[in-house]
Amino acid sequence: MWSVTAPPEVNLEYSDHLHDIHNDYPVAPEHTTMIEDMLSDYNRDTLFVGQTCLIPNLNNKVKYVTRIKNLKLYKQLGLVVTKIYRVLAIEQAPWLNHTLTSTRTNERLRPPTLRKTSSN
């Protein structure tokens, strides 16, 4: 069974009055490459420089792609959509469903002594 999802590509504005509220846990993380200016003095000499990381920050987002549910949450939390570039239509198929179902069935049929446990 195929389903279609449509993640939008938008610009988000993170207003200054939200910075104190969202300082502990900013929403809308970005996939960003670390540069020296982003790091504290303690971390500047580490291997973090040049690494690509998923970073929650309070910066405005440009061409940010997210799910519709996340975008609704961001708007509820005060972020402002300033521009919509496009909405991408993506077809999804449950291609792994058969494998997961058969694995679960096989696990239930296996004798208790051979079942995987968290201690193994």
By CB atoms closer than 10 A (0-12, 13-18, 19+), residue 111 is: exposed
Per-residue model confidence (pLDDT) at position 61: 94
Task: Encode pLDDT of 22-80 as tens digits.
Answer: 999 999 999 888 888 877 888 777 777 788 889 899 999 999 999 999 999 999 999 99
Residue 44's pLDDT is: 74
- Quote the tokens at residue 34: 């670390």
pLDDT at 111 over 70: no
Mean residue pLDDT of the chain comes to 83
Reported as a pLDDT band with limits 50, 70 and 90, residue 18 is: very high
